[in-house]
Amino acid sequence: MELPLYLKCEGFNFSGSIKQKPALEMVETAEKSGLLRFDSILVESSSGNLGVALSMIAASKGRRFVCVTDARCNPATRQIMAAFGAEVHVITEPDPVTGFLGARLAYVQRLCESDERYLWLNQYVNSDNWRSHHRLTAPQIADEFPELDLLFVGAGTTGTLMGCARWFKEHRPGVRIVAVDSVGSVVFGGPAERRMIPGLGSAVQPPLLDESLVDEVVMVPEADTIRACHRLAGHGFLFGGSTGTVVAGAQRWFAEYGSDSDELIAVAIAPDLGERYVDTIYRPDWVREHYDSAVSQAPVPGPAVSEPAVR
């Protein structure tokens, strides 16, 4: 049975992911407010996609940009940032409590304290993160799907989730908002565990999150993310890890609700494409090294994906 799900493919943004929207919103707001001066050096913590978007925007504006990432960042993503002229600082040791994200944030803070030219956009607390999706992403979905019933949104900084949830609660409150997160993430209060796939999830609870705007949460093990990515690739769709997680979450939701949900109009936000994951998710020896036989066990719960409808 075909999964009754439309994908909003944000990987077609020029920087390759949904992160182009908040990146541009944060930079342009900083410019208009005067925070971003002629000698400012942009700095941001990113697991990859926002770093690429900011690298592209900084290059287009003739500005310096420093991306602080960690060892989980895909090699191709680091190379793309460097190609745009960004400085990429890689954190190799996680904080014992707050993980790689905590270590990255501490490093950014030290940079800012060392030189007043550094301007930290801080996607984790910056309201322009969610505002970009409130202004763009949610209305785009609503225009395309006037009868929308169900929206699946991945959770990381929760900028996309909060922007879309706020818009639909204000304008179309009947739309059910389902957040999708990775097992091992603490976004919704679960225990912190090892996570190897960058993008969704967090080792620190995001300040932007307002759980009252979320109707349901689906947690997805990373092995399911990989299986979903491979299944989609087998049908001609090469998506990234964040998209694989959201699709796997949608599959879990439909498996639980079964035939009662067949007539629903459902959309999942697909944040990225898969080219940057060819050295990780799509490389068999990497999968075997990090997940042993977990990926080859029972398939992701839910109906098989057959020619996913993409808009």
What's the CA gap between 260 and 252, in Å, rounded?
A: 14
Going by pLDDT thresholds of 50, 70 and 90, the confidence category of residue 306 is very low
DSSP of 253-295: HHHHHGGGGTT--EEEEE-BBSGGGTTTTT-HHHHHHHHTTGG
The class of domain 6-13+132-310 in CATH terms is alpha beta
129-171 pLDDT per residue, tens: 999 999 999 999 999 999 999 999 999 999 999 999 999 999 9
pTM of this prediction? Answer: 0.91
| Exposure string for 105-137, b = 16+ CB within 10 A, e = fewer | bebbeebbeeeeebbbbbbbebbbbbbbbbebb
Q: Where are the domains of the chain?
A: 6-13+132-310, 20-120
Identify the DSSP state of 133.
Answer: I
Phi, psi angles (nearest 5°) of residue 90: -105, 120
Q: Quick check: 298 pLDDT over 80?
A: no
The architecture in CATH of the region 20-120 reads 3-Layer(aba) Sandwich (3.40)
Mean pLDDT of the chain: 91
Q: Quick check: 1 pLDDT over 60?
A: no
215-270 pLDDT per residue, tens: 999 999 999 999 999 999 999 999 999 999 999 999 999 998 865 666 899 999 99
Confirm whether 6-13+132-310 and 20-120 share one CATH topology: yes
